[in-house]
Chain A
Amino acid sequence: MNKIILFKNFNEIAECWFRQRTKHFSKQKTLVIGLIMIFGLIFMAIFAPYITPYDPVEVNLRNNLLPPSWEHPFGTDNLGRDVFTRVIYATRIDLLAGFLVVGISMTIGLLIGIIAGYYSGKMDKILVGMIDTFLALPDIILALVIVSSLGPGIYNAIVSLSLFGWVKYARVSRSLTLSVKEKEFIEAIKAIGASDFYIITRHIVPNIIAPILTLAALHIGHAILSLAALGFLGLGVQPPMPEWGAMLNEGRAFLRVGWWLSVFPGLMIMTTVLAFNLLSDGLRDIFDPRVREEVIK
């Protein structure tokens, strides 16, 4: 850690950091597998129209509930839409919504956590009380409360999950800031006369960003699960928009006659969450020196 403080900007830090650690990257099987899976998913999301010839929402009642075949690898649903196509297009919505929830939560959480940790005092006490309150309830229950007052829909689902997602980041960044700000190099830079803004942006953030990113990787998987859960309960993405959870909800009624409606969207959720969990595991192993030593051994 102490080496890092000598650098003035994030690029140099990142470069040094990578030089130090890239040699371990190849040993991180979980990280590599996770990254490959995530790139695959992003590729699918971007090039969805080129992967499949069908339209994700166009109804074609003549083809309803066809079992999987070469033409329709995942079969068709009750409205004759190709399930494979819908699953692919849903990647766009689920990934984007997941990234949005994490992006918003991380920004708010970092801001509040760092300020509270850096300035401590009364603000800090209030924040800790707030964190305890927010964390007392599972996020899906609080999301349900918000959705019930704002109404169902993709935007409200994103808003409600972000509204509670920031708390974890605030908690972690607060405690990290508390420990970093006691370090001697912060004292030294303060003695030179650096402003609080400079210290926070140039020294605190680079020093605490690693665990925050690990948390973010884990959070994306969790956010996608929660979004799908809301979709499954009929409170997230609304039909006919393709979303994995909502698709499972639609398929539930046809469980007896069309197992493929309930199997494939769930497989996609699992693959996506697995990819981000692997990424997070890999990142944690790299960032946590204690674990890293074991990996190298």
Chain B
Amino acid sequence: MLRYIVKRLAIAVFVIFGTSALTFFLLSLTPGDTAVIIIKRAFVGDIEYNPSIVEVKATKDLLGLGNPLYIQYLQWLINALHGDFGRSYVTGRPVLDEILPRLNATIELAIVAAAFSLLVAIPLGVVSAVRQNSGIDYLSMAIATFFVAMPNFWVALILILIFSLYLDLLPATGYGGIEHLILPVITLGAGMAAITMRLTRSSVLEVLRLDYVRTARAKGLDERRIILRHVLKNAMIPVITVVGLQLAHLLAGTVIVETIFAWPGIGKLLIDSVNARDIPVIQGCVFFIAIIVSLVTLITDVIYRFLDPRIKYE
């Protein structure tokens, strides 16, 4: 087990550096002279400012922008490992100070959304499987099929339309109390719940067909006990993997949901910096998102293998 964890950890580190290198090179394709942009936006703070050749040269030397790209990346990486991600072109503050306060808000949103979706999806999935082909099964499957196809930004708009504008029950935007959390959580959680529900249903159906369930029934155990104690344990294994992967992709959803609900998370920061072409902040955001995604995937894999001893550690 330990060997497996170490191996997975090594892969995670490789992936984090890989994605950061990828983003670095992609962002270096940005048209325009980086030194000029930095002088204009970070040093002078005036887009109209026209820097002299001497100033551009000095900046290039100072920041090592004349070096080949891979050296620049290594410089960035070494600084990043020391906690220095550079300074935002827009605010001039260190990137780390921009990102860290935002992480909490995003993690809060993601965890509540995931919890919400599991609370809805797993009971519904189990009931649909146990009562296969019943009214509740068809209804929940139909709703799930629609929710998988709905774009989350549209769900968000419809929720705002109904609950904020027409019923005036919940605030449309903002951050703070529970009332601010409800609409973003439903938006983010609904899509995830739909996928988890379908998976739970098919997984439970598969396990219900196994011999040991028949044995339990033949023994005379009551159905509730069979489902809760015997079936659920095995049926949840594939669900956990998918939930883990979805948690990682929930972060992509937060980019849009945070923008709509003005939620001060890392996703909104990423969009704002993309719109402002604030390259150090984009680079930093992607780095942190990569770390979170890799960690979540790693933990999911380890839990999965821990839960199911049938899977061999490679």
Taking beta carbons and an 8 Å cutoff, which residues of A are in contact with B? 129-130, 132-134, 136-142, 144-151, 221, 225, 228-229, 232-235, 245, 248, 251-252, 255-256, 259, 262-263, 265-266, 269-271, 273-274, 277-278
Neighbouring B residues of A129 by C-beta, 8 Å: 14, 18
SS class of chain A's interface: helix, strand, loop or mixed?
A: helix
SS class of chain B's interface: helix, strand, loop or mixed?
A: helix
**B198: shortest Cβ distance to chain A, in Å?**
10
Neighbouring B residues of A138 by C-beta, 8 Å: 248-249, 251-252, 293
* Contact flag A225-B151 (CB < 8 Å), given A138-B251, A145-B286, A274-B145: yes
> Can you show 8 pairs from A to B with CB atoms below 8 A apart?
A129-B18, A133-B22, A136-B16, A137-B19, A149-B29, A259-B161, A273-B149, A274-B145
The answer for the CA separation of A248 and B14 in the assembled complex, in Å, is 39
Neighbouring A residues of B11 by C-beta, 8 Å: 132
* Contact flag A144-B270 (CB < 8 Å), given A138-B249, A262-B158: yes
Contact of A274 among B16, B146, B161 (CB under 8 A): B146
Closest 9 CB pairs of A and B: A138-B252, A266-B154, A133-B18, A274-B149, A273-B149, A148-B274, A149-B30, A136-B15, A149-B29
Neighbouring B residues of A277 by C-beta, 8 Å: 145, 148-149
Contact of A145 among B23, B149, B161, B293 (CB under 8 A): B23
Bits for B236-272, please: 1 = Cβ < 8 Å to A, else 0. 0000000000001101100110011000000000110
Contact of A148 among B30, B149, B248 (CB under 8 A): B30
Contact of A137 among B165, B259, B286 (CB under 8 A): B286
Given A138-B251, A262-B158, A270-B150, 4 extra CB contacts under 8 A: A148-B27, A263-B158, A266-B151, A266-B157
* Contact flag A221-B22 (CB < 8 Å), given A149-B30, A266-B158: no
**A84: shortest Cβ distance to chain B, in Å?**
17
Taking beta carbons and an 8 Å cutoff, which residues of B are in contact with A? 11, 14-16, 18-19, 22-23, 26-31, 145-146, 148-151, 153-154, 157-158, 160-161, 165, 248-249, 251-252, 255-256, 259-260, 270-271, 273-275, 277, 279, 282, 286, 289-290, 293-294, 297
**B67: shortest Cβ distance to chain A, in Å?**
19
In the complex, what residue of chain A is closest to B25 when comparing beta carbons?
Answer: A149
In the complex, what residue of chain B is closest to A272 when comparing beta carbons?
Answer: B149
**A193: shortest Cβ distance to chain B, in Å?**
37
The answer for the CA separation of A271 and B151 in the assembled complex, in Å, is 11
The reply to whether A266 and B150 contact each other, CB–CB distance below 8 Å, is: yes
**B79: shortest Cβ distance to chain A, in Å?**
20
In the complex, what residue of chain A is closest to B17 when comparing beta carbons?
Answer: A133
Contact of A150 among B29, B271, B286 (CB under 8 A): B29
**A275: shortest Cβ distance to chain B, in Å?**
9
The answer for the CA separation of A146 and B153 in the assembled complex, in Å, is 21
The answer for the CA separation of A145 and B279 in the assembled complex, in Å, is 9
The answer for the CA separation of A41 and B19 in the assembled complex, in Å, is 37
The answer for the CA separation of A106 and B305 in the assembled complex, in Å, is 32
**B299: shortest Cβ distance to chain A, in Å?**
14
Neighbouring A residues of B157 by C-beta, 8 Å: 248, 251-252, 255, 262, 266
Neighbouring B residues of A134 by C-beta, 8 Å: 22
Neighbouring A residues of B29 by C-beta, 8 Å: 149-150
The reply to whether A256 and B148 contact each other, CB–CB distance below 8 Å, is: no
The answer for the CA separation of A138 and B252 in the assembled complex, in Å, is 6
Neighbouring B residues of A248 by C-beta, 8 Å: 153-154, 157
Neighbouring A residues of B22 by C-beta, 8 Å: 133-134, 142
The reply to whether B151 and A228 contact each other, CB–CB distance below 8 Å, is: yes
In the complex, what residue of chain B is closest to A271 when comparing beta carbons?
Answer: B149
In the complex, what residue of chain B is closest to A148 when comparing beta carbons?
Answer: B274
Neighbouring A residues of B273 by C-beta, 8 Å: 148
* Contact flag A145-B148 (CB < 8 Å), given A136-B19, A262-B158, A266-B157: no
Neighbouring B residues of A271 by C-beta, 8 Å: 149
The answer for the CA separation of A277 and B286 in the assembled complex, in Å, is 30
The answer for the CA separation of A82 and B161 in the assembled complex, in Å, is 21
The answer for the CA separation of A169 and B265 in the assembled complex, in Å, is 32
Contact of A141 among B15, B289, B297 (CB under 8 A): B289
The reply to whether B282 and A136 contact each other, CB–CB distance below 8 Å, is: no
